[in-house]
Structure 1
Amino acid sequence: MSTPSNAQSAEPDPTVNPQKARTGLSRIWHAAGYSIAGLRAGWSEPAFRQEASAAIVLLPLSFWLGESWVEVALLAGSVIAVLVIELLNTGIETAIDRIGPEWNHLSKRAKDMGSAAVLLALLLCAGVWAAALWQRFGHG
């Protein structure tokens, strides 16, 4: 019986990527640093800056507009979801752009699907906020 290769093993191979060998607080510390770097990279994108600027206004408003913790969670969560999906879309676009600048139908498809995900998140957010505003002010 043979021993499993590193590809099948649960243990990371530190010779391939020394970052994978970190554990405990060191892993958490470095992961936080990578996350902050990701937010900084996202901030360089105009769409993310626009959405983050809206979030700076909408997140505090969600505490005022929501009448229960569930409503606050839906309002704030829909805003955060837009930011998360925008970052994922930017990651997809960045990875596709790294592959090469030439036009490819699969690259276009991946970018279009990422864009569609952002659109759906924005529509969800707008719907949640419209419903909350209607509930609060529409039939008063």
Structure 2
Amino acid sequence: MQESPFKGKTGLTRVWNAFHYSMAGLAAAYRNEDAFRQEVWLAAVLVPLALFLPVGVLGKALMIASVLLVIVVELVNSALEATVDRISLDHHHLAKRAKDIGSAAVFVALLNVLVVWGLILFA
């Protein structure tokens, strides 16, 4: 098993490489994942809305964090799905389970947005 040639880089070189890998990952997710694109556009609406709503700073932070959590979970779910597909495109109950659990995680993150926003705006 061979290690990545980029392992072992330290300092600013590592940070710079990590930044570029992250940007490439965001671009790939946006380009290839419909759900990610939809959630980015939802965040583009909800984050500014949270900033302008008449709620306290903590409320704004929680509202924005709940939206960003959806983005994070969708990225992890997309990576999991790509990995499962890379291993095999054959139908297998464990592959289905992995993908369904990833989808459930995104669903729970979306429910979290509803609960957080609902509690802050209507409680």
- Identify which of structures 1 and 2 has the higher relative contact order when contacts are C-alpha pairs closer than 8 Å and 6+ apart: 2
Per the alignment, residue 3 of structure 1 pairs with: none
Pairs aligned (count): 122
Whether 2:13 is the aligned partner of 1:18: answer no
Structure 1: state its 5+ residue gaps.
1-14, 136-140
Match for 2:72 among 72, 84, 89?
Answer: 84
In structure 2, what is the Cα distance between the partners aligned to 1:82 and 1:71? 17
- Structure showing greater radius of gyration is 1
Whether 2:87 is the aligned partner of 1:122: answer no
Q: How far apart are 1:97 and its partner, in Å? A: 0.2
Per the alignment, residue 27 of structure 1 pairs with: 14
Report the TM-score when normalising by structure 1. 0.82
In structure 1, what is the Cα distance between the partners aligned to 2:23 and 2:115? 30
Q: Which has the higher helix share?
A: 2
Per the alignment, residue 37 of structure 1 pairs with: 24
Show structure 1 runs of 4+ deviating over 3 A: none
Per the alignment, residue 106 of structure 1 pairs with: 94
| CA pair 66-121 structure 1, distance change in 2 beyond 3 A | farther
